[in-house]
Amino acid sequence: MINQTGNLGLFVPGPTNVPHDVRRAIDIPMEDHRAPDLPEFTLPLFADLKKIFKTESGQVFLFPGSGTGGWEAAVTNTLNRGDKVLMSRFGQFSHLWIDMCERMGLDVVAIECEWGEGVPLDQYHDTLKADTGQEIKAVFATQNETATGVQSDISGVRKAIDDANHPAMLFVDGVSSIASIDFQMDAWGVDIAVSGSQKGFMLPAGLAIMCVSQKALEASKNGTMHRCYFDFKDMVNTNKDGYFPYTPPMSLIRGLRVSIDRLLAEGLENVFARHNYLAGGVRAAVDAWGLKLCAKEPKWHSDTVSAICLPDGFDSGELLRHAYSRYNLSLGAGLSKVAGRVFRIGHLGDLNEIMLMGALAGSEMTMRDLGVSITAGSGVGAAEEFYRTNYQARSELQAAE
């Protein structure tokens, strides 16, 4: 029997919890999306959204859809069938972007990596250096691989491209990182960044949130792939006046205004520090349980999601079902190669220590119910000590800024 009392503990890595003020902003009467005063709302919104991407020169786009729609927009607007692109596969979502590119007729150079590692910087550099004809038109990188809890170094990707003296564009999947983990569009020379509303932006799913460099916009003028709904040109032509080329989901966009206000009021650097701090407590709990993360080394540890490996003989699918029915707790499933082997705790968006302590306690009780050898209170206690010990240092850092 499913426990129906209290609130559902939502700790999947997306959709994330929607704050009350964002929900209030969404729960409004329908409005005229061609009203003469709409640009008074949309144009400042576009300007402030650029702050989240840390860009001066990039252009932001809001497409009705999901992050996957943003992936497709990036490809269809800037590349041509047969173009060679460099990608790496180290989790389900990096795999899905590769699959999309192959199905769209691109010539994909896919570097296979162990699941638990991230973007292979040295191999990217060597592949680009060997491409003396400069046939590779774009380099793709997933900043945060949600399936394995792996975070990659996008500034390192830019360095690999520059050190190889290669003109390829840089496309980044930031669906589960942007607005939670540091992202620097201009400083890192990113040409297209893709995110989604249901992660760090703390909204329901339904918006592909993108930022596009001037270089990528120029490339889109010569792209020959068929596109209509996701055409940058239509967006450029209408966004400049504060409107959209088709009916926009205004309730979500009203919520986005409040979400951006929250992020900027907290301060982006504080947002990033908070996510690192919250992730640290989860990692302390995993260590205390005697378990391992799917991410192979600390340099790969994600600050937005932890993929936790169960001991041999235990099924993470059973763990998820039990946590949901017994403790009203939703955890993330293992996907593809790690299906049945890992469960995931999402720690991004509108979240604090007490909320995460509930997720850790529920996970701990679930594992003990299933017979995993864990000492009662070990993970919860370790997380508690981490948060108590590190809170002051985090507060002093915020005060200094």
CB 306 within 8 A of CB 345: yes
Confidence of residue 395 (pLDDT cuts 50, 70, 90): low
Mean pLDDT computed over every residue of the chain: 96
Residue 252, both tokens: 């979500």
Closest alpha carbon to 311 in 342, 337, 345, 284:
342
Class of domain 20-265: alpha beta
d(CA 54, CA 185): 6
Calculate mean pLDDT across residues 38-52. Answer: 98
Instruction: Provide the pLDDT confidence category of residue 65 given band limits of 50, 70 and 90.
Output: very high
Say what the pLDDT of residue 7 is: 87
Provide mean pLDDT across the span 368-395.
93
- In residues, how long is the chain? 401
Q: How confident is the model at residue 87 (pLDDT cuts 50, 70, 90)?
A: very high
**9-16+267-400 has CATH 2.30.42.10 classification:** no
Residues of the chain with CATH 3.40.640.10: 20-265
Tokens of 18: 């929607």
Residues of the chain with CATH 3.90.1150.10: 9-16+267-400
Contact call for residues 161 and 127 (beta carbons, < 8 A): no
Percent of all residues in the chain with a pLDDT value above 90, rounded to a whole number: 95
Higher pLDDT, 215 or 400: 215
Out of 163-167, 332-336, 391-395, least confident range: 391-395
- DSSP E strand stretches across 59-216: 59-64, 84-89, 107-112, 136-142, 144-145, 150-151, 169-173, 192-196, 207-212
Q: How many CA atoms lie within 13 A of 213 on its CB side?
A: 20
- Tell me, what's the pLDDT at 6? 84
- What mean pLDDT do residues 246-252 have? 97
pLDDT-derived band of residue 52, with 50, 70 and 90 as boundaries? very high
pLDDT at 73: 98
